[in-house]
Every structure is written in C-alpha cells, then in structure tokens.
Structure 1
Amino acid sequence: MKKVAMGMLIVTLLLAGCSSSDSSGKADAKKEEKEEKVVKKGLLNVEVTLPAEFLEDQDVDQMIKDAKEDGVKEVKKNDDGSITYVMSKAEHKKMMKDMQKSLKETLEDTKNDEAFQSIEDIKVNNDFSRFTVVVTDKESYENSFDAFASITVGMTGMMYHLFDGKDADKIKVTVAVEDKAGELIKEAVYPDALDDLQKDLEAETDSETTEQ
C-alpha cells in the first residue's frame, strides 16, 4: 500500500508541477533562450532522482513518457531501477512553485472533504516539513477513518522534499494531530511512520492467517 500510494503521489505532483504554462514577454523569452544554451553545457541542470523503492508496482515507462510530454528535458531509467529527471534550474524553480500551490490545494481539498468529518483544518509551516491536522476532538478522530488523511498529508510532504532535491534517506516530515484546544493527540514522523504502518498491516495479516 505504501509503495503504490507513493507512486501515485509522485505522478500527481510531478504533473502538477510541469503542466501549467507561463506566458512571458520578449525579455523573458530571450532570457530562457540564453539559459537553454547554458543548460546544454551542463552548467544549470538540476537532477532529481526517485529511488526504485518508490516506483515498485508503477508503470515506469509511462511515467517517463508523461514527464517528457509535460516538458521535462530528460528522464532516464537507471540500472538500479530509479528514475532521474533532468531539467534547467529555471524549470525546476517553476516546478517547485507549482508543486507548492498544488500541495496547498490538496490540503484544502482534504480539509473540505466530507469523508473526513472530524478534520477542521490542516496547517503547514513555511518549508513544508511540519503539518498540523486540527480535529474536532480525539474521540471523533479515533473512531473514524480520518487517520488516512494524515497519511496522505505525510506522503505528500515527503514527495515535495524529494523533488526539492533532499536525500531520500534524510527526509523527515512531521504530521501532528491536535484538537481544537491545541492538545496534541498524536504525532508521526514520515517516512518512519510508513514503515510502522507496514509492519502493523503485516502483523494483522499474519494474525488473520493464523486464526483461519
């Protein structure tokens, strides 16, 4: 479940960051043309590599095709199963700006989703490393499936930092759940929380198998 969800978020965030067009004037066009010439010399390239573990069960060839169609300069599949996106610094800066917008829209949609009835607000700090999910009360939150929203928030934050060039092994995104009074209900740090969730699911599956 973890790997599939990650793959879906990778595609969603990448396309959100690359799909919007920018209508610039002649001055900007000349600037971009100049940057393109420098990029070909390898002076302004930005490389983003998605680890193979994030891509299992995904159609990698389709991801590469979609990325190229959406304007990514180069996408290559590495021998270890990872994918590397190569783009100019200008393209990367624009992509990250678009991803910030997309991430905030995702938080807003999650907050307003009727499926998550206990969630009243979702706050995020400036560098997208800490999210605070504000819920009605502890009982309403724990007696619902609203925890899945927290998982989505954590993984979305991880994907943002991955595309921002952070080392996958060093990414830490904190998701805190608080009630309206500001009392902490629980706090999880991703990706460690995903590993814990995976272990819990495996333990539950083993338990069900044993009972049968």
Structure 2
Amino acid sequence: MKKLLSVLFVLVFIVSACGQEKTSSEKEKETETEKSNVEETESQSVNVDKGLFNVEVTLPATFFEGEDINQVVANAKEEGFGEAIANEDGSVTYKMSKSQHKEMLAEIKKSVMESVEETKNSEDFASIKDITYNDSMSAFTIVVDKAVYENSFDGFAALGLGMVGAYYQLFNGVDAEAYKVEISIQDEASGEVFDTIIYPDALEEQ
C-alpha cells in the first residue's frame, strides 16, 4: 500500500515541478489569454484545450471530492500555474504553457516507469515478476506467480496502475467518458491471463 500512495504523491510533486517554469512561458500565457476563449465544461468531463501557446486542463469535480476547492486553487497558483479557476460545477481549470504541459506528460510517464520498476523489485509485492504497458498507458500486464498472488494483497498494485494510467490519459486529452485502463494479470508459469481488471469500471463495482 505504501508503494501505491507513493505513486499518487509523485504525481502531486510532478504538478509542482512543472510549475517552476516561469519566464517566457508566463509571457506567452498572458498573450494567449487575451486571444483564447474558455469553454464551460461539464462536471464529469476532462477538457484539454490546446491553444496556440497555452493549454487548459479541466479536471472533473470527482477529482476533488472532500477537498477545499479554494485551497486547491491557491495551491495551484503557488505551484506556478498561470491561473487556476474553480468552476461552478466543482471542476477546476488549470492554465499552463504548452511547454509545461509537454513536460508534465513526460514526467508522469517517467514516474510511471520508475514506479513500475520499484513495484517489480519490491518485497511488498512478492508475487509480481514483471509489468509491461503500452505507450498510451491504457493497458498494463502484470506477470505474477499465480499461487503467491492469490494468497496475497498484491492486487492493490493494479489499483495504483489504474490510477496513474487514468491520470496520464486525462491530462493527455482523453475524454473522461471514454478513457479506459485495462489491467491483465498473467501467470508467469503458464502464460495464462487469469484475471482482467478494467478501470474505471472496477471502481464503480466496488
């Protein structure tokens, strides 16, 4: 469970790190803000509006359940975003330069790769032998010792992968109604895929 929490905390720090790029990109934000129109978004959708210089990312209200939205906005501004807006439907729109957005996606993918390696080599997930994934972070395969896996809590690793896969896709512009992360659990000895977990469906079933 500690590994799963560390993955999510890494993503928070990624947002902070990307906010450190402040020089010419801020001027680009100011110029483009005067030229672009902000579209109103629905509470359950993520909108990534890629303008000439800026990118606007709107995260749905479900990302902020139980949080103080005013504090979320204040933190975003402290982290270096050009602007963060709390919308009436509970969603939050972040504005950043294209370079910040590109760097953010690269850093998310890098953190996923590092977390995958840590999970594979961790004593906390003894049954896991290998983890592979596609470039869009929409499909992961966890190769395990089936007997050990079925008598452990190593299935929590799938939850972590589902979360980071969803996070990456949403920030890359996949609609919240369309994104999917498929986790296949494969037995190392036989090659059999004996379980498949689909996010976000799995969360709705719980």
Report if TM-score (shorter chain) is over 0.5.
yes
Matched, 1:180 2:188: yes
Q: CA deviation at 1:44?
A: 2.5
* Number of the residue aligned with 1:114: 123
Is the Cα contact below 8 Å between 2:143 and 2:185 reproduced in 1?
A: yes
1:143 to 143, 151, 154: 151
Q: CA deviation at 1:20?
A: 5.5
Q: Which amino acid aligns with 2:123?
A: E
CA deviations 1:127-171 (Å, max 9, x no partner) are 1111111112x2211110000111111111011111112111111
Matched, 1:70 2:63: no
Q: Decide which structure has the larger Cα Rg and report it.
A: 1
Partner of 2:140: helix, strand, or coil?
A: strand
- Runs of 4+, deviation exceeding 4 Å: 20-23
Structure 1 vs Structure 2 CA RMSD: 2.6
Q: CA deviation at 1:184?
A: 0.5
Q: Within 5 Å, which residues of 2 pair with 1:26-41? A: 32=25, 35-36=28-29, 38-40=31-33, 41=35
Partner of 1:99: helix, strand, or coil?
A: helix
2:109 to 100, 105, 108: 100
Task: Normalising by structure 2, report the TM-score.
Answer: 0.78
Task: Normalising by structure 1, report the TM-score.
Answer: 0.76
CA distance in 1, matches of 2:151, 2:54: 48
Matched, 1:195 2:204: yes
Q: Quick one: percent identity of the two aligned structures?
A: 46
CA distance in 2, matches of 1:126, 1:186: 22
The number of aligned residues is 184
